[in-house]
Amino acid sequence: MRTFRIAPSILSADFARLGQEVSDVVAAGADIIHFDVMDNHYVPNLTMGPMFCEAIRPHSSAPIDVHLMVKPVDALAAAFAKAGADIITFHPEGSEHIDRTLGLIKDAGCKAGLVFNPATPLSYLDHVMDKLDMILIMSVNPGFGGQSFIPHALEKIRQVRRRIDEHTARHGGEIWLEVDGGVKVDNIAQVAAAGADTFVAGSAIYGQKDYKAVIDAMRAELARVPS
């Protein structure tokens, strides 16, 4: 039976009161704090560096999941590990040596994962499944919050779920399957049915007045998904 995890993205939070926003969403039932890092190079936007991670670490009893939309990736991965990240994921296009970057993250004491854009082939997984703790499927093109879910991401999620299940059946271990982009109450059950177990939601949570009500509604939808 899968464990479902909800990961609010602080990209949609009120930056003027970020520590409180993190504390509030954890109190409302969030499992993970998702941290979107954009460099205005790999993606057309600029967001938060390691100092933000270090600043919010005391406000979160939940793991901090750092999604690096940057190129190059190694130096920032190391900096975020030092700043208190628990999970660090990156795009294969952002690394010259994917295997080495995954090793760097794990050696720093963090869980490591790869991120796949809507048009990025899954063939990158062929050689590194044994080094992954998470696979993140983007259901929007990265760079901006508030975008709509791209429906064909569901098939990609199904394909990754099959890969994960085959790998763990042979070798054991656990690999989380996270989805980011346009996830909300109305579609979270459909995304879970395709195979996801970890759900990033930005404006769907932080755009509402009652964070607990939204998270509870998401959990109610997930409870309807066959295990």
Which residues carry out catalysis?
A: 36, 180
Backbone angles phi, psi at 179, to 5 degrees: -130, 135
Q: CA 10 to CA 104: how far, in whole Å?
A: 25
Question: What is the rounded CA–CA span in Å between residue 133 and residue 114?
Answer: 9
Beta bridge partners, 70, equal none
226 upstream amide cis, omega within 30 of 0 = no
Can you spell out the DSSP letters for 98-115?
Answer: HHHHHHHHHHTT-EEEEE
Residue 138 CA to residue 117 CA, distance in Å, equals: 5
Q: Are strands 134-138 and 176-180 parallel, antiparallel or unpaired?
A: parallel
